[in-house]
């Protein structure tokens, strides 16, 4: 009997040790993968971003001679850079499933895209899921917090013509003036098509309590999965990029010429994008870099609104925008309860689409980045040695 107890204890000890060793092995492998991913991304940034800048520097004469061709080439390289960021998540098993309206048929139209904001991973998710939407990534403009200006990608966004907005009451009025000037100067001249913004003005976890207090004070809906949006940037974009009817709605024709001298149609759509993470656990940029979370599917829901349905008068637009975020609240509540978005009105079942990236294409652009980095390094080293 004592021998049997001894065997049971020994067996338990060995099993426990095996589990600990297995756990330590998995942790060690996870840490090793995180280090390798970080090293690869660091080198990737060191070759891709300087190459982008140097190519555009060499192409400056083309910018003077034929501006539209210059910005076409810049857009192509910008899309490649965003694809590299997308590949970091793709390799780690971070994929996207899409729901709702199919926005690909309107990728050539001008649109304002409004997105709920939960974490830094939202931007990475959009970079990924817009890759297969035609020319969208090449011709899009981002509105993002000014802190992104000081990240590794900040210089690229600055060159591309994105707008960095500073949050807070003290800066609000000036920032809206700067935004209008920025749109007037860069949006049409660089032939932009889509403009992406986060109307909540910050991350959900940071703004939720303040938003709920404001909602209670003004008898507005109590929101948990989103916050009440801010009107300023949305209003400026609509008034600047669309013509206005007498009834307060916006027209389809802006009459503003583009680079080629042809009249632009102006904003034609507002695309409402809702990002949902499984179990309401947002994906942040650190996760994309180090890949320590297991394979995760992020769900993205689209709904399109013709611009003629969108009011531009301030109070009416406020009500319209609030309603969109109440709908987002309902969409996210349904998703967190069921694991799927609800079907469109009049349909029995919601249909999802798996967004995919071409691994061959990703390998090609990554290879091009490393070849370009080696070429520029060799050229600059040769010039430096020649001078000294």
Residues 271, 380, single domain; the answer is no
pLDDT tens across 104-131, in order?
999 999 999 999 999 888 998 999 999 9
This prediction's pTM: 0.86
Domain that holds residue 234: 93-357
Q: Are residues 278 and 365 in the same domain?
A: no
Query: Does residue 358 carry a pLDDT above 60?
Result: yes
Residues 334 and 364 in one domain: no
Instruction: Residue 338: name the closest of 352, 353, 326 by CA.
Output: 352
Q: Does residue 303 sit in helix, strand or coil?
A: strand
Task: State the Cα–Cα distance between residues 192 and 386, nearest whole angstrom.
Answer: 42
- The total number of structural domains that make up the chain: 2
Answer with the residue of higher pLDDT: 320 or 386: 320
Task: Kindly state whether residues 166 and 298 are assigned to the same domain.
Answer: yes
User: In percent, how much of the chain has pLDDT > 70?
Assistant: 86
- Asked whether residue 7 falls in the same domain as residue 124, the answer is no
Give residue 147's pLDDT: 77
Give the pLDDT confidence score for residue 275 in this predicted structure: 96
Strands, E assignment, 241-306: 269-276, 296-306
Per-residue pLDDT tens over the stretch 29-56: 678 888 888 898 899 999 999 999 999 9
Q: Is 26 in the same domain as 163?
A: no
The pLDDT tens digits for 213-254 are 988 999 999 999 999 998 889 999 999 998 554 444 455 454
Once rounded to an integer, what is the mean pLDDT over residues 313-334? 94
Q: Give yes or no for residue 188 having a pLDDT over 60.
A: yes
Matching residue, tokens 């993470």: 277
Pairing relationship of beta strands 296-306 and 94-100 according to DSSP bridges? parallel
CATH number at residue 191: 3.40.1130
């Amino acid at each position: 009997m004592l021998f049997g107890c001894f065997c049971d204890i020994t067996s338990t000890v060995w099993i426990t040790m095996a589990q600990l060793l297995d756990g330590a092995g998995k942790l060690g492998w996870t840490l090793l993968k995180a280090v390798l991913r970080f090293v690869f991304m660091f080198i990737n940034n060191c070759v891709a971003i300087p190459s982008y800048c140097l190519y555009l520097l060499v192409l400056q004469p083309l910018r003077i001679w034929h501006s539209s061709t210059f910005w076409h080439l810049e857009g192509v390289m910008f899309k490649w850079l965003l694809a590299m960021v997308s590949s970091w998540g793709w390799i780690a098993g971070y994929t996207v499933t899409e729901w709702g309206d199919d926005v690909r048929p309107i990728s050539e139209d001008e649109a304002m895209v409004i997105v709920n904001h939960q974490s830094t991973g939202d931007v990475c998710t959009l970079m990924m899921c817009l890759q297969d939407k035609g020319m969208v990534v090449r011709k899009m403009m981002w509105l993002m917090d000014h802190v992104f200006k000081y990240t590794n990608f900040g210089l690229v966004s600055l060159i591309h013509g994105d707008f960095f907005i500073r949050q807070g009451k003290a800066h609000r009025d000036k920032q809206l003036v700067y935004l209008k000037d920025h749109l007037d100067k860069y949006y049409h001249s660089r032939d932009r098509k889509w403009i992406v913004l986060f109307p909540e003005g910050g991350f959900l976890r940071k703004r939720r309590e303040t938003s709920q207090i404001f909602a209670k004070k003004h008898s507005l809906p109590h929101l948990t999965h989103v916050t009440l949006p801010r009107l300023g940037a949305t209003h400026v974009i609509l008034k600047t990029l669309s013509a206005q009817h007498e009834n307060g709605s916006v027209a389809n024709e802006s009459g503003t010429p583009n680079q080629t001298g042809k009249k632009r149609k102006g904003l034609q759509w507002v695309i409402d994008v809702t990002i949902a993470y499984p179990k309401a656990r947002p994906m942040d940029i650190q996760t994309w870099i180090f890949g320590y979370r297991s394979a995760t599917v992020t769900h993205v829901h689209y709904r399109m609104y013709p611009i003629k349905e969108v009011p531009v008068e301030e109070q009416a637009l406020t009500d319209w925008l609030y309603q969109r975020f109440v709908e987002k609240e309902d969409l996210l509540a349904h998703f967190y309860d069921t694991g799927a978005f609800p079907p469109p009105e009049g349909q029995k079942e919601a249909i999802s689409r798996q967004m995919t990236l071409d691994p061959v294409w990703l390998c090609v652009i990554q290879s091009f980045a490393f070849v370009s980095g080696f070429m520029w390094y060799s050229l600059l080293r040769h010039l430096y040695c020649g001078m000294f």
